[in-house]
Amino acid sequence: VNIPASYLNIVKKEIESFCKKLTSSPAELYDPMRYMLSMEGKRLRPILLLLSCKTFNGKLKPVMPAALAVEVFHSFTLMHDDITDNAPLRRNKPSVHVKWNTNIALLSGDAMMIKAYEELAKTPKPYLHQIFTVFNDMALKVCEGQQMDMNYENRERVSISDYLDMIKLKTAALFAASLQMGAILGGASAKDDNSMRMFGENIGMLFQLQDDILDVFGKQEKVGKQTGGDIIQNKKTFLLVKALELAKGKDLTELKSLLSSKTIKPSDKVKRVTAIYEKVDVLKHSKAQMEGYYKAAIKAVAGIKSPEIKILSGLVSQLMSREI
Amino acid sequence: VNIPASYLNIVKKEIESFCKKLTSSPAELYDPMRYMLSMEGKRLRPILLLLSCKTFNGKLKPVMPAALAVEVFHSFTLMHDDITDNAPLRRNKPSVHVKWNTNIALLSGDAMMIKAYEELAKTPKPYLHQIFTVFNDMALKVCEGQQMDMNYENRERVSISDYLDMIKLKTAALFAASLQMGAILGGASAKDDNSMRMFGENIGMLFQLQDDILDVFGKQEKVGKQTGGDIIQNKKTFLLVKALELAKGKDLTELKSLLSSKTIKPSDKVKRVTAIYEKVDVLKHSKAQMEGYYKAAIKAVAGIKSPEIKILSGLVSQLMSREI
């Protein structure tokens, strides 16, 4: 993704300075935070927040705490999700619960969420209550979505609509809140901050659909996660739910038996499920779905004119074909 | 503990109404919160917060969100601590990670922390920034203390001063913040809110010392936790740290070998460590230490005159000999 360098650099510097200012003791609490935040991320959410603020000619300095808060919160969710999802790798490095241990990942994650709130509390006072409320609402949605995601692993029947409900919470809520908070802090009208929120939500949806694709079809060196991790965990991704809809006869039987097998070698499971995905061409359907979210995102902000909206729209179209 | 019934009832009603208003789906996220909050607790922290507010003639209604926030936050820490401490029982019922599973206890705990912040956000706007800051500061301290507690389990040398540093963070910070937030919201001067904070910190210290005693010498039916859980986990409690200081010769050798044994039956370990505690009379030292905190608490608020200060002082002296 070709993110405007100036924004990326601003965010990188903020994160660096945040990490430097972190207390060092107890090390088990703060080192994992630094570790997570120093991984090369896209920093997409804070950048979107800043661009949203700039859309309404807002100043960037007062928005920095909120931008940092969304990135730190996002990073906290990764730390805890890696525990629950049993994920060994994150951006090509061992996950916190592997590098340290589960108890440390749990507690350091808790502290990291609090650090996100600590940043958020630096928001200019006239906006604090509204921003705090948007943030809390988002944070709960993210947890609800993650819980649904976990529940779906053991549920046989998950429809495309169930799946979309889940990712709207798990992933899109944070994108939506980032864009909305940027707009609020930039001084947007209630109508415009709602448009930006809708823009963010649609970005989030297509982002997650692409994430599902990358988990299976991405290159591990680039994506930095175990290839096929979702397949191993029986995650009800768009690909799997769609494939269960599309596959017939022998293919469907095989797919179901792969999902229920407790003895199959993980790498074999990934290979054979992927083969079925290719046979029924789930990718085509994913891409069509993403196209729909792309159009909805662009439509949401059609009434707002600014150079940043152009940058944002360009970003979204890049997200559709991102490789990391 | 003989808590003023009117305050206890107010808090109980608030918690009941909070539980009723909780969303029901996904059940795995919200049921454990209801489960934790419906256990019969002392509700000490919110009650102290309300009494602190009343000390300065503050109205109770605007303080309720903060009172609820400290109790919900406290309950969240118990949910996560029970995971890390491997604790099977909480108030005579299975812990959340036992009744459901670890992933659910983790995620429901995360959501519960967010619910605490959601309550906090309802604090009257003129006070929001200050209350939010006190709360964040407290929350981080609690995590730091819990991490130190975990670290101490595997550290051979822990001094009384190390131990006191740890419980000041793990336990006393939440008591201190509760009293301070109540005072701030009651309209106290900066001097008085600091006095109330110091009062709270000292209460917290003696509360934890009594907690350490109850873990070993309390009745399981009353305390509701596995008797000797701290001993099994090699928790560096006041009792253990002091016993390691006091024990000599054969007793010290036995105590150390009990701590390092990986094969001993937990119930035998509890019995034999307890016997050494009794032999060196650690209880006497604990009680003397608590007496010091009691005096410091009373001294901290000597300059503040109100009927509530009398109730608070009475509460503290009861905490010294509480059985639950």
E strands, chain B, are 89-90, 93-94
CA distance B316 to chain A (A): 30
- Structure tokens, B148: 């130190």
Q: Identify the residue whose tokens are 């305390």.
A: B223
Residues 6+ apart with CB under 8 A from B308: B51, B52, B54, B55
* pLDDT at site B130: 98
Cβ–Cβ gap A132/B129 under 8 Å: no
* pLDDT at site A2: 66
pLDDT tens for each residue of B272-310: 999 999 999 999 999 999 999 999 999 999 999 999 999
pLDDT tens for each residue of B234-280: 999 999 999 999 999 999 999 999 999 999 999 999 999 999 999 99
Chain B residues whose beta carbon lies within 8 Å of the beta carbon of residue A110: 80, 109-110, 113, 143
Q: For residues A293 and A313, is the Cβ–Cβ distance under 8 A?
A: no
The residue of chain A nearest to residue B76, with distances taken between CA atoms, is A110
What is this structure's pTM? 0.96
Which of these, B97, B124, B91, lies nearest to B109 by C-alpha position?
A: B97
* pLDDT at site B224: 84
CB count, 10 Å around CB of B91?
Answer: 14
Which of these, A198, A269, A284, A282, lies nearest to A228 by C-alpha position?
A: A269
How confident is the prediction along chain A (324 residues), in pLDDT tens digits per residue?
667 789 999 999 999 999 999 988 999 999 999 999 999 889 999 999 999 999 998 899 999 999 999 999 999 999 999 999 989 999 889 999 999 999 999 999 999 999 999 999 999 999 999 999 999 999 999 999 999 999 999 898 999 999 999 999 999 999 999 999 999 999 999 999 999 999 999 999 999 999 999 999 998 888 888 889 999 999 999 999 999 999 999 999 999 999 999 999 999 999 999 999 999 999 999 999 999 999 999 999 999 999 999 999 999 999 988 888
Residue B305: phi and psi, rounded to 5, are: -110, 125
Chain A residues whose beta carbon lies within 8 Å of the beta carbon of residue B143: 29, 107, 110-111, 114
C-alpha torsion sign, points A298, A299, A300, A304: positive
Chain B residues whose beta carbon lies within 8 Å of the beta carbon of residue A136: 114, 117-118, 121
Cβ–Cβ gap A110/B113 under 8 Å: yes
pLDDT tens for each residue of A138-162: 999 999 999 999 999 989 899 999 9
Which of these, B324, B312, B297, lies nearest to B182 by C-alpha position?
A: B312
Complex ipTM over 0.90: yes
Residues 6+ apart with CB under 8 A from B317: B294
Residue A306: phi and psi, rounded to 5, are: -170, 155
DSSP A62: G
The residue of chain B nearest to residue A102, with distances taken between CA atoms, is B84
| pLDDT interval class at B5 (50, 70, 90) | confident
The CA-atom distances, in angstroms, between A1 and each of A4, A8, A206, A215, A306 are 9, 11, 14, 17, 21
Tell me which residues of chain A have a C-beta less than 8 Å from any C-beta of chain B. Answer: 25-26, 28-29, 80, 83-84, 103-104, 106-111, 113-115, 117-118, 121, 125, 128-129, 132-133, 136, 139-140, 143-144, 146-148, 150-151
Cβ–Cβ gap B107/A140 under 8 Å: no
C-alpha to C-alpha distance for A10 and A278, rounded to whole angstroms:
41
